[in-house]
């Protein structure tokens, strides 16, 4: 970490001159919001010119390794973050248990190569929570052309000692779109004009059920047969990936009582279809495999990193403004854009506020979540034990003193605005808060709900939870859940911009006379119905 820089009173006049260059002067605010423009200038100056984002990101990625929940890499990152937050002067920095997670898992060795009809090394990553090969193995590959359980009958008795490859459609479609993109003005304008529509939860449940009855059910049956007959491994392809990019996630249950999952290895689409074409042509294929994995069961709880900047206002100090992102990642890379980027900027936010010596009226609490990739588990567990259980909606005392939660989890791209999550009453407030950052490209407020990450845990119990609009950059095409999600794909200027804007939003929320408006409390949602 670089040495922290603090403001000296004697230098304040020079600071204001420089900050004035950073903050648009022709900013007119509504009478509704009392914006502290001097504080926003300080935040801009610190966030844009004295940033620590890349130092923080280095420690969360390269120095920690992958951060699969409950893995050694996650623990390295969580303990580093806890200590760093303490060193910056936050109080109560701790690894806070949120409930039962399950087994930790670590990949300790992975080798896969084609040895016949010729030698070719293969890029391959086992899915998380899979067992290994129990030493080096050489095995012939069996093409599985079945698509359902009935079709597997003809392969019974043929799986022993084999590596299995389910048949897929061989047609490969080139993409003529760039990997990295930013929102256009037209797209942002369209987002700002969106009208809220009710979510068809019944349709979502139908789609989920259909998926579970289709490919997932077949794969589970194949795994069971492979285990029973003593196969070596199953190969999976990465449908969204090409050019060596693999989308790798979990290989099955990770609960403490669950058995190890049968070895399932993801390989590139190009290698997968090469093997398939050879087998279809009647040319035998042999692979060498050597995979070693390790499970951790000494502590099966899940932990979030929590720390605070205590509030100072006599009437408001017990009210809480939260910010956060999920610290866990998948295991084939170091989870730089998903979601070290979010944790980096949130840590940078509190560093900025502490460096400036800001005394917030309300308490500011940062949370770095675990278990997000397995279903928002860390934030759900925290919300359930702290505020309310969405299944019954019996509110705990802290529900009344909570103000708002702000989340970052859409990669390295800069903030272009904010999703209201259906909370129309916040539109005017956030529109005013974005005005000082129009020159940085942040202009848009949309009523839309964006899903899939930790703000939903707060929204599920009627607490204001928000996610920012971010440029996609390479998120969906190259980095999200892939072996390419490394430090190199982080954009420093974008991370500086995100941290600066989020710091202002957190500061504004902490300083308001009133808490942010809330939506109507949701009805209880019994377990299994989701968000």
Tell me the backbone φ, ψ of residue 106, rounded to 5 degrees. -145, 135
The CATH number linked to 78 is 3.40.630.10
* Residue 140: both structure tokens together: 């012939």
Q: Return the number of other C-beta atoms located less than 10 Å from residue 439's C-beta.
A: 13
Tell me the backbone φ, ψ of residue 192, rounded to 5 degrees. -70, -20
The reply to whether 237 falls in a domain is yes
Can you tell me the distance from the alpha carbon of 480 to that of 490, in angstroms, rounded to the nearest whole number? 12
The reply to whether 17 falls in a domain is no
* Judgement on whether residues 340 and 437 belong to the same structural domain of the protein: yes
152 within 8 A of 130, measured Cβ to Cβ: no
Give strand pairing partners of 293.
107
* Judgement on whether residues 329 and 412 belong to the same structural domain of the protein: yes
* Judgement on whether residues 267 and 333 belong to the same structural domain of the protein: no
pLDDT of residue 196: 76
Can you tell me the distance from the alpha carbon of 491 to that of 361, in angstroms, rounded to the nearest whole number? 33
- Burial per residue of 40-79, b for 16 or more beta-carbon CB atoms within 10 angstroms, e otherwise: bbbbbbbbbeebbbeebbbbbbeebbbbbbbbbbbbbbbe
* Judgement on whether residues 202 and 343 belong to the same structural domain of the protein: no
User: 33 exposed, middle or buried (CB, 10 Å; 0-12, 13-18, 19+)?
Assistant: middle
Last residue in a domain, options 296, 322, 337: 296
* Judgement on whether residues 409 and 307 belong to the same structural domain of the protein: yes
- Residue of 292, 238, 309 whose CA lies nearest to 270: 238
129 within 8 A of 261, measured Cβ to Cβ: yes
* Length of the chain (residues): 531
The reply to whether 9 falls in a domain is no
305 within 8 A of 367, measured Cβ to Cβ: yes
* Judgement on whether residues 167 and 242 belong to the same structural domain of the protein: yes
The reply to whether 517 falls in a domain is no
* Judgement on whether residues 339 and 275 belong to the same structural domain of the protein: no
Q: What is the DSSP string of 347-414?
A: HHHHHHHHHTT---SSEEEEEEESS-TTTSHHHHHHHHHHTB-TTT--B-THHHHEEEEEE--S-SPP
pLDDT of residue 177: 87
- Quickly count helices (H) and strands (E) in the chain: 14, 16
Relative to beta strand 104-116, strand 91-100 is: unpaired
pLDDT of residue 195: 86
* Judgement on whether residues 95 and 143 belong to the same structural domain of the protein: no
**Domain count of the fold of the chain:** 2
Can you tell me the distance from the alpha carbon of 479 to that of 89, in angstroms, rounded to the nearest whole number? 33
What tens-digit pLDDT sequence spans the chain (531 residues)? 433 333 333 333 333 333 444 454 434 444 489 999 999 999 999 999 999 999 999 999 999 999 999 999 999 999 999 999 999 999 999 999 999 999 999 999 999 999 999 999 999 999 999 999 999 999 999 999 998 888 999 999 999 999 999 999 877 888 888 899 999 999 999 999 998 776 666 665 666 555 555 577 888 999 999 999 999 999 999 877 788 899 999 999 999 999 999 999 999 999 999 999 999 999 999 999 999 999 999 999 999 999 999 999 999 999 999 999 999 999 999 999 999 999 999 999 999 999 999 999 999 999 999 999 999 999 999 999 999 999 999 999 999 999 999 999 999 999 999 999 999 999 999 999 999 999 999 999 999 999 899 999 999 999 999 999 999 999 999 999 999 999 999 999 999 999 999 999 999 999 999 999 999 999 998 875 555
* Judgement on whether residues 282 and 307 belong to the same structural domain of the protein: no
The CATH number linked to 191 is 3.50.30.30
- Residue of 85, 99, 101 whose CA lies nearest to 365: 85
* Judgement on whether residues 78 and 140 belong to the same structural domain of the protein: no
451 within 8 A of 421, measured Cβ to Cβ: no
The reply to whether 531 falls in a domain is no
Last residue in a domain, options 238, 264, 296: 296
The reply to whether 25 falls in a domain is no
Instruction: Put the strands of the sheet holding 444-446 in their side by side order.
Output: 91-100, 301-309, 363-369, 320-326, 402-407, 465-470, 415-419, 444-446
Can you tell me the distance from the alpha carbon of 213 to that of 207, in angstroms, rounded to the nearest whole number? 10
pLDDT of residue 123: 96
Cβ neighbors of 372 (< 8 A, separation 6 or more) are 326, 328, 339, 378, 379, 409, 453, 454
Give strand pairing partners of 236.
266
The reply to whether 226 falls in a domain is yes
pLDDT of residue 241: 75
The reply to whether 409 falls in a domain is yes
160 within 8 A of 230, measured Cβ to Cβ: yes
pLDDT of residue 209: 58
* Judgement on whether residues 45 and 144 belong to the same structural domain of the protein: no
Its domain, for residue 57, covers 35-101+300-511
pLDDT of residue 8: 32
* Judgement on whether residues 457 and 343 belong to the same structural domain of the protein: yes
Last residue in a domain, options 238, 271, 296: 296
pLDDT of residue 28: 40
The angle, 0 to 180 degrees and rounded to 10, between the axes of the packed helices 341-355 and 72-87 is 10
Give strand pairing partners of 405.
322, 465
């Amino acid at each position: 970490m670089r040495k922290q820089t603090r403001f000296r009173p004697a230098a304040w006049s020079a600071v204001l001159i420089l900050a004035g260059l950073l903050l648009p002067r022709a900013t007119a605010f509504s009478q509704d919001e009392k914006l502290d423009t001097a504080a926003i200038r300080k935040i801009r100056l610190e966030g844009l010119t004295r940033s620590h984002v890349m130092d923080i990101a280095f420690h969360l990625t390269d120095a920690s390794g992958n951060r699969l929940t409950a893995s050694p890499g996650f623990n390295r990152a969580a303990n580093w973050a806890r200590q760093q937050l303490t060193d910056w002067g936050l109080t109560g920095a701790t690894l806070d248990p949120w409930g039962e997670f399950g087994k930790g898992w670590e990949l300790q060795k992975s080798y896969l190569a084609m040895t016949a009809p010729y030698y070719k090394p293969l890029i391959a990553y086992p899915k998380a929570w899979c067992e290994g090969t129990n030493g080096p193995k050489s095995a012939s590959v069996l093409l599985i052309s079945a698509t359902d359980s009935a079709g597997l009958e003809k392969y019974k008795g043929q799986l022993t000692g084999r590596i299995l490859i389910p048949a897929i459609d061989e047609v490969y479609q080139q993409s003529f779109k760039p990997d990295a993109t930013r929102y256009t003005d037209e797209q942002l304008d369209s987002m700002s004009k969106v009208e809220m529509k009710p979510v068809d939860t019944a349709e979502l449940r139908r789609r989920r059920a259909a998926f579970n009855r289709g490919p997932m059910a077949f794969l589970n049956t194949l795994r069971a047969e492979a285990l029973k007959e003593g196969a070596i491994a199953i190969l999976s392809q990465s449908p969204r990936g090409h050019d060596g990019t693999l989308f790798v996630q979990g290989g099955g249950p990770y609960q403490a009582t669950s058995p190890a999952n049968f070895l399932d290895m993801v390989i590139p689409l190009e290698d997968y279809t090469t093997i398939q074409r050879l087998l279809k042509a009647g040319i035998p294929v042999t692979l060498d495999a050597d995979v070693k994995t390790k499970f951790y069961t000494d502590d099966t709880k899940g932990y979030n990193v929590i720390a605070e900047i205590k509030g100072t206002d006599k009437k408001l100090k017990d009210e809480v403004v939260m910010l956060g992102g999920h610290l866990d990642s998948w295991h084939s890379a170091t989870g730089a854009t998903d979601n070290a980027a979010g944790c980096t900027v949130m840590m940078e936010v509190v560093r900025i506020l502490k460096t400036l010596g800001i005394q917030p009226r309300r308490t500011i609490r940062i949370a770095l979540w675990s278990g997000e990739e397995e279903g928002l588990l860390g934030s759900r567990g925290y919300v359930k034990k702290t505020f309310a259980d969405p299944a019954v909606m019996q509110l705990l005392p802290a529900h009344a003193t909570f103000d708002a939660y702000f989340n970052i989890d859409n990669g390295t791209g800069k903030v272009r605005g904010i999703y209201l999550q259906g909370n129309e009453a916040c539109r005017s407030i956030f529109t005013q808060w974005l005005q000082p950052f129009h020159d940085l490209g942040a202009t848009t407020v949309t009523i839309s709900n964006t899903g899939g990450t930790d703000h939903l845990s707060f929204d599920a119990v009627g607490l204001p939870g928000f996610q920012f609009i971010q440029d996609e950059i390479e998120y969906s095409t190259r980095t999200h859940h892939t072996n390419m999600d490394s430090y190199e794909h982080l954009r420093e200027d974008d991370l500086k911009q995100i941290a600066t804007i989020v710091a202002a939003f957190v500061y504004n929320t902490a300083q308001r006379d009133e808490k942010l408006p809330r939506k109507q409390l949701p009805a209880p949602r019994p377990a299994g119905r989701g968000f």
